[in-house]
Structure 1
């Protein structure tokens, strides 16, 4: 190999290492949706992820002190009201008498690929608050 072509070859190798594979790993435990898609969580509650604000998750090939997090800007439908919120994968959001959480994010972060916005997949859960009914005496 000529020395003049060495920088080109090294550049091509570096770009190939960061290329996104054709088939990224999907969700394992939930049925996931893409950005812009709507997931109905229960009657009167639905969520649509709009954008990924932050993805600081640890790559799967690395041992990290902190697992990192994903913050997703999402539109939440509560009955007939639309609210835009920032959902943090590390903590549920208390909203409309319940807890809204990011249940799963795909694909995993990797040192082998960059995740483009259209490749993200999400699953959400909503757990209503359970209020104890007053105890009755005998």
Structure 2
């Protein structure tokens, strides 16, 4: 039987036996689907990991106002699957498809109020599979 030096074993690439989504090293473990997460906090949605990165737009009509247009919320989101990752602007209530999966940003908190300004880190986002 041939003996393989320990250094050779240490340098050998690990074998892959299953595909799994691995969150980036700079993040905390993902929350379960339906959980309201802040910017930078990953959430597991099916076999994807979504991370809101930046609030791009919040033009929603304030709860305590009357508006002609309901407005919208757009969040730059990293979407990671087994062996791939994309970044996309997801709009509240609009399904988004990538790599054969469809997801949606389904809720944004807090509600917008006239006369107040919500800071980006106060927002919470809920994503779900579609």
Deviation, 1:31, is: 2.5
**CA deviation string 1:25-75 (max 9, x = no partner):** xxxxx42000000000112x1100000000000000012222110010010
Structure 1 stretches of at least 4 aligned residues deviating more than 4 Å after TM superposition: none
Of 30, 38, 41, which aligns to 1:34?
Answer: 38
How many Å separate the matches in 2 of 1:31 and 1:47? Answer: 11
Alignment-derived partner of residue 91 in structure 2: 88
- Counterpart contact for 2:35–2:43, Cα < 8 Å: no
Of 61, 76, 83, which aligns to 2:64?
Answer: 61
Alignment-derived partner of residue 126 in structure 2: 123
Of 103, 107, 113, which aligns to 2:106?
Answer: 103
Q: CA RMSD in A?
A: 1.2
- 3-state SS of 2:121 partner: helix
- 3-state SS of 1:46 partner: strand
Deviation, 1:92, is: 1.2
- 3-state SS of 1:37 partner: coil
How many residue pairs get aligned? The number is: 97
* TM-score, L = length of structure 1: 0.66
Alignment-derived partner of residue 9 in structure 2: none
Deviation, 1:90, is: 4.1
* TM-score, L = length of structure 2: 0.70
Gaps of at least 5 residues in structure 2 are 1-33
Q: Which has the higher contact order (CA 8 A, sep 6+)?
A: 1
